[in-house]
Amino acid sequence: MQGVDRDYDPGFSPQPTPPRKGWQRPQQTAQKPKRDPAPSRLAYRLHRMWLTPYFRRLTRVGLPAFLFAFLSLLWLSDDDRRASLAGGLTGMVEAVQNRERFMVKVMTIDGASGPVDKALRMMLPVDLPASSFDIDLDQLRSDILMLDAVRDVELRIKPDGVLAAKVIERQPMLLWRHARGIEQLDETGHRVASVTDRAVRSELPLIAGEGADKVAREAIQIFAAAGPMLPRVRGLQRVGERRWDLVLDRGQRIMLPANGPVAALERVIVLNQAEDMLGRDISVVDMRDGTRPVARVGIAAQNEIRAFQGRPLLGPDGRELPQDEDKKS
């Protein structure tokens, strides 16, 4: 027995240690499968579908647009909602427009006479104070220019809520009497205002006749040329919309030609100064013939001549008076 154990020496063995027969390893629990992500077929297909350009565009643009349109139309299909939406919108716009910054409080008018001033204030479409958004300056200006008395107007909204209007009025230069009444005209012949009576603006020269307003400028020139005769001038009459008759007091009349009436008038004035023609009994001086003046002698002078010649006298209408009557008288 001892011999068996003779070689026993702990820690030493002449032979290499035989491989151990696999010690008892702890039994492995079934290992969890490692995380091994792979897309499922569905996920894969959806992903591919998502990468399809048309589908992508449809989903990202078409679908939201459709939903938005659908929902908004659904919401708008109710009348009350539509009304409240419109009300809300206009309210919002007005809230902005009616801010203090935009309000027009005063209207100042420069260069307008009393009636025009009043008319302008009447023409303002809104009551002040009002928002400047409510005042359409272009429209207002064109409205104001429709007034005959206003030649030009400049409108602007100044800071601090001032609507400033600078008005240039028409200056009446002539009175025009026609079938419908008497009107004041400016130098271009545009109507300024009506007058009820000649005496209201007695300082203005008077013209008469149809179409006289269209040649107002010529009329003014004639009046200017008539300087020395002016105290005697009653007015100018347009004849046949063609030429002028200068009407003087005492029923005298100077018929001016259609062409060059001023020159003709100046000729008459020279004649008058030289020979005191108009102081005599001449009813009409006819300047229509350019070569010479033709004078029509007045009834009284004619009668005097006739009486001197022994011919029947003329009545005030220019006809011969019957002889017997003449004898009676």
Partner 1 sequence: MKDLYQQQRAMRNMRQAALQRGVIAVLDIGSSKVACFVLQFDGPGVYRETDGVGPMAGQTNFRVIGAATTRSRGVRFGEIETMAETERAIRTAVQAAQKLAGVRVDHAIACIAGARPASYGLAGDAPLKNGKVGQGDIAHVLASCEVPDFGRGRQVLHAQPVNFMVDGRSGLMDPREHSGQSLGVDMHVLTVDGDAIDNLIHVIRRCDMELAGVASGSYMSALSSLVEDEQELGAACVDMGGGATGVSIFVRKHMIFADAVPMGGDLVTQDIAKGLKVPMAVAERLKTLNGGVEATGRDDRDLIELGGETGDWETDRRTVSRADLIGIMRPRVEEILEEVAAILDAAGFDHMPSQQVVLTGGGSQIPGLDGLAARMLGRNVRIGRPLRIHGLPHQLTGPNFASAVGLALFAAHPQDEWWDFEMPAETYPARSLRRAYRWFRNNW
The number of C-alpha atoms within 13 Å of 280 and in the hemisphere containing its C-beta is 16
CB of 52 to partner 1, least distance (A): 5
- Please state the φ and ψ torsions of residue 104, each to the nearest 5 degrees: -105, 120
CB of 26 to partner 1, least distance (A): 5
Instruction: Quote the distance between the C-alpha of residue 17 and its chain's center.
Output: 120
CB of 69 to partner 1, least distance (A): 29
Question: In the complex with partner 1, which residue's Cβ is closer, 11 or 37?
Answer: 37
Question: In the complex with partner 1, which residue's Cβ is closer, 9 or 36?
Answer: 36
Question: In the complex with partner 1, which residue's Cβ is closer, 10 or 22?
Answer: 22
Question: In the complex with partner 1, which residue's Cβ is closer, 37 or 114?
Answer: 37
Applying CB under 8 A, the residues found at the interface with partner 1 are: 25-26, 28, 36-39, 41, 43-45, 47-48, 51-53
Strand intervals (E) in the chain = 103-104, 106-110, 130-131, 150-158, 162-169, 174-178, 181-185, 191-195, 206-208, 233-239, 243-248, 253-255, 282-286, 294-297
CB 219 within 8 A of CB 212: yes
CB of 73 to partner 1, least distance (A): 34
CB of 28 to partner 1, least distance (A): 7
* 77 token code pair: 């299909």
* Cα–Cα dist 152/171, whole Å: 12
Question: In the complex with partner 1, which residue's Cβ is closer, 56 or 217?
Answer: 56
CB 244 within 8 A of CB 236: yes
